[in-house]
Structure formats: C-alpha cells, structure tokens
Amino acid sequence: MLHIYRQVKALRGVDTFIVTKEVQNAERFPFANIEVIPKRRTNLLVHGWLKFIERRPHIVYRGEYQTLDSLLERQGADLMHIYFGHTGVHLLPFIEQWDKPCVVSFHGADVAHKHDIKDYPTKLRRLFDAVPLVLARSQSLAERLIHLGCPSEKLRINRTGIPLNDFPFVDRQLPPDGKWRVVQACRLIPKKGVATSLRAFAIFKKDNPKAEFFIAGKGPLQPELEMLADGLGILRDVHFVGFLSQPKLLELYASSHLFLHPSEISANQDQEGV
C-alpha cells in the first residue's frame, strides 16, 4: 500500500528493515533491506502433532515463529512495528514471547468484524495487553479501538503524511461553460461511500447539467454503482475510468474542480483510516 510505503521511507534516525511474506512491484516500491519469510518445509508428522494434538496456532505449526525469531535476531532488531491489527493477532503468540517491544498500527479494515478469525475481539484485547503502544491513523479509529478494549493511555494518533511536492498547486476557476469536473479515487467498496457521491452528484447536476463525474478505481461494487447511476439518470456523465497510474491520477486531479470522498462505516464496522 502506497501510504505505508511513504511512511516507512520517511523514517529518520533509525535503521529500518522490512519483513514480508512476498515482494510485489519492487520496481515501484524500491527498498534496500527486505527480509522475505520463506515457506518452511515442515515434517508432516510434527506439523500434524502441533496442529491437531497440541492445537498450536498457525504461526507455530507453519514454522513462521522460528523463522521470524531467527531473522529478527540476525538483524539485531530492537523493536518491531506491525502494520494492521489482524497481522498483530496472527503474530500474537510471538509478540507475547519476544523479549523486545512491539508497536501495532491500525488502518481501518482491521477494526471491522473478522468472521474468518475466531474470537477476533478477544484476541485484539490480548494484543492490546501485549504491546506498549498502539497507533491509530485518526481520531475516529482511536475511538473505535477504545470501544474494542484498548487502554486510552496506550493509544497515539499517527497520521499519514501527504507528500506535498507530488501535488503541485493548481489555480482553479469556476468553469465559465458550466462543465464542472468532479473526481473520486478509491476502491469501489462500501466504506468509500461512492453511492452517496453518486446521489449527491445527481442533485448537483440538476443545477449544473454539463457536470461530469470521474471515478478512478475498481472493486466489487462497480456493477451495482453503474446500475445506480443509470437509475439516477446520470450514467452518461459518470465515467468509471478504472485504476490509474500515479501520473495519470495526478493529471485527473489537476483537471478537476471538486474532489469527493464521503467515507462511511459499513455494516461490519469497516471504516476509513483517515
């Protein structure tokens, strides 16, 4: 995720290395020191014993615990920053045993109900007990974490910075021909509030019939959103342009008059990080 990459690249005063299960798009996100956790070849008998007899967690019977422990020791790590709460829950058996501090940061989707993780709220409370510091990207996320059981004294808001040099100022004027250009850039999922944007744009178009709405991104809701735009009678002027490269997205931003991003909390409590 670009926002995490920017944050990690901006760190100063510390020696940082990345631990990941897989490297993707290395040419777009170069980083000098990356440790990839390899898949360990585990003895099937040992694997079965740990999983079915001793009921040990995934991180143990899949061999990740031992791999993580050895690479952190080799790197001389003094602290581990874990991005996303569900990753922290996955690593919980290690966190509770490691003799160095861990910090976990939450970014939105990790405060939602996780039906694929058994007893997720209970494990989150164990995670809060195990770490000295919990980071949230916004006040609303911090409030949700307190509701989930995080002690307020452990919480800090750590906002995601914006690289202002990447977004040069554009002097925008009211369009004399009435051709307003509205843009929203996001994944097409419930918490992004694109349906709300479409309804708002339909109202806006009543007074501004030449306005156009550009939606940059893809996601499972696109067919439903296209049907909504059609039902609102605005589909001709709503453009689903898909995912754009950063240069193309900056061009779209620069050529638009208004940026929409209402954000909503979905039924499973998934919410924005900002």
User: Tell me, what's the pLDDT at 61?
Assistant: 42
pLDDT bin (cut points 50, 70, 90) of residue 141 is very high
Overall average pLDDT of the 209-238 stretch: 97
pLDDT above 50: residue 175: yes
The alpha helices in 105-193, defined as continuous H runs, are 120-130, 139-147
Look at residue 238 and tell me whether its pLDDT is greater than 90: yes
> Looking at beta carbons, which pairs linking 31-36 to residues 24 or more positions away fall under 8 Å?
31/5, 35/71, 35/75
Looking at residue 49, its pLDDT comes to: 47
Q: Is the pLDDT of residue 211 over 50?
A: yes
How far apart CA 127 and CA 150 sit, in angstroms, is: 9
108 alpha-carbon distance from chain centroid: 6
Averaged pLDDT score across all residues of the chain: 89
| DSSP category for residue 62 | T
Q: How far apart are CA 180 and CA 236, in angstroms?
A: 14
Q: Point out which residues pair with 182 in neighbouring strands.
A: 213, 258
CA distance 160 to 273: 9
pLDDT (0 to 100) of residue 40: 62
- Give the per-residue pLDDT at 108: 86
Least confident of 40-54, 59-73, 196-210: 40-54
Please report the pLDDT score of residue 54 as a whole number.
Answer: 55
Q: Residue 23 above 80 pLDDT?
A: yes
Angle at 274 between CA 156 and CA 154, to 5 degrees: 15
Name all domains of the chain by residue range, CATH numbers in brackets.
2-157 (3.40.50.2000), 166-259 (3.40.50.2000)
What confidence tens digit (pLDDT) does each residue in 36-65 have?
887 766 655 555 544 555 555 565 445 677
pLDDT of residue 249: 95
